[in-house]
Structure 1
Amino acid sequence: MRNRKRKKSALSDHESVSIDQDDQFYFIAGYTEGGAPYGVTWEEYEAQSALAKDCSTSEGEPQMKKLVLTERQLQELIDTYDMHMDGIEHFLNIDNGEIVMINSFDMEDEDEELSEAIEEGFNEIYFRIPSRESHEGYMDMEDFADTVPNEKLRTKLFNVLSGGKKIFRRFKDALTSDARELDRYYKFVESRNKVRILEWLESINFTVIVGKDNSVEDYSV
């Protein structure tokens, strides 16, 4: 409970001023002849504070935009995130949800035109799609290995993760002995990449709406 007629500092320690408060009033401006206080109530103060916060948020942070994608487009976006090839860059066109590719090693006339369009609409229409980082891939393998019920296979996977060359390839090779676990691993990685793609889209102020059977589904992390 708020103490009656509390004193509160409204300014800095170097130039402070005290204000009267009680359980009903955040700021007591004065008293009537009968001794009843009047001023700004706690409800009024909290309502004004909430409004100011909302205004500050709307002015200081861009509002989230809706990005409507088909299931195919979302899946393609997730698959693209898992790709990495030197000289190849992928961009998402947020106007139509399509993904375009630029090959900087072997550019043709069409690529030149597309490159110019991307440059003109960069971070407005075209957004560069990030790729899965190697540390994310290692973390996925480590987390997945923890879920493998077969102790012999789990030990084998952690032995691969302990070091050496071509860890990613050897990890998958170790899983080929169990087709079910290999398939589960691919689905595990895909689900992780889906979360990362949605987080990336949120970082550029887009929330995804996916069309499905004449309806839409709102995706958020």
Structure 2
Amino acid sequence: MEQDENFYFIAGYTEGGFPYGTTWKEYEAEQRGESRKMAADGGEPMRELKLTKQQLQEIVDAYDMYVEGIESFLNIETGEVVTLRTFDRDEEDEELSDIIEEGFNEIYFRLPKRESDEGYADMMDFAATIEDKKLHSMLMNILSGGKKIFRRFKDALSSDSKELERYYQFVEEQNRKRVSDWLESIPELILE
């Protein structure tokens, strides 16, 4: 059996002299039971999805944005996020709706939306990281109840632009984690 630093098994060589076969990465994945060819439960072919940074950002942005009458879907074959109007549909929306319905939970997966309890949990977790005792106390007081908690929390943070920017980065990272968990929960999908 022939091997090199790139290939666990060299099946042959192209006319140009380049090897082909099973790479070390493919071999190691197979050894860990991560077959890239078949789903564990149904034997259906799995789809590999390689997301660019821009595509991942689009998914995170769609996750974080709630607009009534707009639903977002991920096409797991292309990594594209498509949006569908649920009110006042035109002909293009109707066509897209039919395409999504035909491939729903096979090709098109509805993107989850960030829930308000997740936003509240993010504010609580972030407030716990504030070292300035006065600002920490103010934020905890806001989080203890009342109206417009989200707005008041951001208004209080705006007194310190560095903390406000750190908060936005914190929320972005939390959203990325939630989106990554959601992507990993799609059984038909292997993320690269």
TM-score (norm 1): 0.65
Shift of 1:60: 7.0
Aligned to 1:161: 143
Aligned to 1:116: 98
Of 72, 78, 82 in structure 2, the residue corresponding to residue 90 of structure 1 is: 72
Aligned partner of residue 124 in structure 2, secondary structure: helix
CA RMSD of aligned residues (A): 2.1
The letter for the 1-side match of 2:112 is P
Aligned partner of residue 147 in structure 1, secondary structure: coil
Aligned partner of residue 126 in structure 2, secondary structure: helix
The letter for the 1-side match of 2:84 is I
The letter for the 2-side match of 1:119 is E
Q: Is 1:71–2:62 an aligned residue pair?
A: no
Aligned length: 155
Aligned to 1:34: none
Aligned to 1:181: 163
**Higher-RCO chain (CA-CA 8 Å, sequence separation at least 6):** 2
Q: Deviations over 1:132-178 (max 9, x none)?
A: 11111110000000001111111111111010111111111111111
Aligned partner of residue 163 in structure 1, secondary structure: coil
Conserved? CA contact 1:198–1:207, under 8 Å: no
The structure in which a higher percent of residues are strand is 1
Runs of 4+ in 1 over 2 A off after TM superposition: 57-66, 205-209
Aligned to 1:147: 129
Larger Rg belongs to: 1
Q: Is 1:170–2:130 an aligned residue pair?
A: no
Q: Aligned partners of 2:136, 2:119: CA distance in 1, in Å?
A: 17
Shift of 1:64: 6.6
Shift of 1:61: 9.0
Q: Aligned partners of 1:131, 1:196: CA distance in 2, in Å?
A: 10
- CA 1:110 to 1:59, structure 2 compared with 1: closer, same or farther past 3 Å? closer
Shift of 1:207: 4.1
- CA 1:110 to 1:143, structure 2 compared with 1: closer, same or farther past 3 Å? same
Identity %: 59
Conserved? CA contact 2:62–2:72, under 8 Å: yes
- CA 1:61 to 1:157, structure 2 compared with 1: closer, same or farther past 3 Å? farther
